[in-house]
Amino acid sequence: MQPGNCLYVGGIRDTVAHVLEMRGINKSFFGTTVLKDVDLAVDAGEIHALVGENGAGKSTLMNILFGMPVIHNTGGYEGQILVDGEQVEIPSPGVAMQLGIGMVHQEFMLMPGFTVTENIKLNREISRPNLLSRIISDKLELLDVSQMGKDSRQALDKLGVDIDHWLPVAGLPVGYMQFVEIAREIDKSQVKALVFDEPTAVLTESEAELFLGAVQRLSEAGLAILFISHRLAEVVAVAHRITVLRDGEVVGRLSQNGVKVERIAEMMVGRQIKRPALPPRTSEPSDDDIILETKNLEVQMPGERLKGLNLAVRRGEILGLGGLAGHGKVAVANGIMGLYPASGSVRIEGRELPLNDPAAALQSRLAFVSEDRRGTGLLLDESIEDNIAFTSMQSQNRFLKGSVPWQGLRVRDGEAIRKQALKTIEELDIRCTGPEQPVRRLSGGNQQKVCLARALTLSPRILFASEPTRGIDVGAKSLVLDLLVKFNRELGMTVVLTSSELAELRMICDRIAIIYQGRLVGILTPDDSDVEFGLMMAGGRVSEVGVG
């Protein structure tokens, strides 16, 4: 490592034992080095952020810390782990737990049908012995439900969240589920260090804020916190120290003071992230040429109801849909595409689009990149090429061969599919072993590119992209946004981009429509002030506030 590359601020105080320390960690998988001499130390009461692009080695480092089987099955690792200054061996996750290291998983590890209390106490139930349990097995001890409830309440109160601990988890908002997960970790009485793996990836901005507050409370209470995140703004906001990983090496250690998001991003990516001005168009989109118009569109999407939207989309523009989670912005695309029950009117180039009919939407040459990438977006066990061609085969009868009287009997044209797949893989820079690789094995960013490739293959008039950058790393994010701009400028595709991240909307959109409580409150331009955006997302306008 070049010394100049390492900004060491604060430094590791060797006199005081760190709660958690990893020294000189090396790890290779089948000859490929994934971690090179990594040092990491976390103190009590500290929030330590670990950032890096996907594949930088964060997950491997955490797998080592938790003694995951995948590490031992691939030849173990080199280096030392110290807890409270003492060297320890961590052969399994159970041992990590006993040593007081807790983990809050990226994907929720909660039982939907269990109550909050049952989840917090999962497999750590409090029980009282009885006659049978003494004779046969302590597994027959009866649960002490009221004590379990009290403990859970205590853990939730520590976090400062007001959830009824007897509610089933199934109906809770996503943000609260995260709190239940954290409560479970801090309820483990001996917990000293907590690892958060991408905790805010699934949260909306407002939920994330609440969550970060809770994390700060925990660190103030003396817990050591290791925080892995893609959202650099929040890293800068809460972390005391930041360690940046790139290609398995520590490339930077920063302290909270005076760190800019751009600086971290630059370190992570190792190249300057620059946002060149968007390429110009020959003619600017205008209200004289409307490609899509909704009148009183209502969509019954659970948690994201749309209650009557009147919106006109100009031909050739990139329209952003913004707003807080739960206000219905996600429902717009889902409703128009026929995925959730919708009513009202949608006109495309003046022609009425039949609602609640996904096939009709596709035939009108609308394409949708779903926010639910793994659920409704992709056929995870199918190959990249089949995923790319699938929708076109079904809705446009493309990539089929054979002349038989009935379309349904024509067979897939492997050659044409392969050609299209290779072309889009190159165009979109999908990192894969080949067009036959199952989509499940791709990283989040590359899966998203496959979704985009499929949408592109439909050669749509309008492309709806819902949260296309959610849960993918910084580098992949800008690539996805660049692709949307490219589709728009070079192919003349109208793009409707739905996103929870205002920053990315402002980066590429021509106009940004803000949805509040299921209705449109206004349309802003990317250059409008933060205040204006903030107010409108809370349902008001600057002028109205002035009136009182």
Partner 1 sequence: MNTQTSAVSANMSAGLMSIVKKNAVPILFAILSILSVVVAKMNPLFLVNEIITRLARNAFLVLALLIPVSAGLGLNFAIVVGAMAGQVAVIAITHWKIEGLLGFFLAMLGSVPLAVIMGYLVGQVMNRAKGREMITSMVLGFFANGIYQLVFLFLVGTVIPMKNRSMMLPDGVGIRNTVDLFGISRALDNLWRINVAGIRIPLASLLLVVLLCIALHYFMQTRLGQQMRAVGQDINIAAVAGINVDRTRVIAMILSTVLAAWGQLIFLQNISTLNTYNSHEQVGTFAIAALLVGGATARRATIWQALLGVLLFHTLFVVSPSAGQAIIGIPQIGEYFRVFVAYGVIGVALALHAWQARE
List of residues contacting partner 1 (CB under 8 A) = 93-94, 97, 105, 109-114, 118, 122-125, 127, 133, 137-143
Residue with Cβ nearer partner 1 (119 or 447): 119
Least distance between partner 1 and beta carbon 108 (Å): 8
User: E strands within 15-85?
Assistant: 20-29, 32-42, 47-51, 78-83
Cβ at position 82, least distance to partner 1 in Å: 24
Of 133 and 459, the one with the shorter C-beta distance to partner 1 is: 133
DSSP state of 138: G
Nearer to partner 1, 380 or 523 (CB): 380
- What amino acid occupies position 513? A
How many other C-beta atoms can be found within 10 angstroms of the C-beta atom of residue 410?
15
Q: How far is the CB of 269 from partner 1 (least distance, A)?
A: 32
- Comparing CB distances to partner 1, the nearer of 151 and 510 is 151
Q: Which is nearer to partner 1, 70 or 122 (CB)?
A: 122
List the one residue out of 315, 442, 467, 330 whose CA is nearest residue 387. 442
Quote the least distance from Cβ 314 to partner 1, whole Å.
39
Under 8 Å between Cβ of 498 and 329: yes
For residue 288, how far is the Cα from the chain centroid? 37
DSSP 247: T
b/e sequence 110-119, b meaning 16+ C-beta within 10 Å:
beeebbbbbb
- In the complex, minimum distance from the CB of residue 97 to partner 1, in angstroms, rounded to a whole number: 8
Q: Measure the CA angle with vertex 122, ends 116 and 124; round to 5°.
A: 125
Give least dist CB 466 to partner 1, A: 24
CB 228 within 8 A of CB 51: yes
Residue with smaller CB distance to partner 1, 97 or 228 = 97
Please, what's the largest Cα pairwise distance for the chain? Answer: 85
Taking the complex as a whole, the smallest distance from the CB of residue 175 to partner 1 amounts, in Å, to 19
Which phi-psi region, left, alpha or beta, contains residue 95 (left: φ > 0; alpha: ψ -120 to 50)? alpha
Nearest distance from residue 140's CB to partner 1, in Å?
A: 5
Question: By C-beta, is 97 or 325 nearer to partner 1?
Answer: 97
- Give, in order, the Cα–Cα distances in Å from 50 to each of 64, 221, 247, 312, 505: 15, 21, 13, 43, 26
The rounded distance, in Å, linking the Cα atoms of 496 and 491 is 15
State which residue, 111 or 422, has the beta carbon closest to partner 1: 111
Spatial distance between the Cα atoms of 29 and 75, rounded to a whole number of angstroms: 8
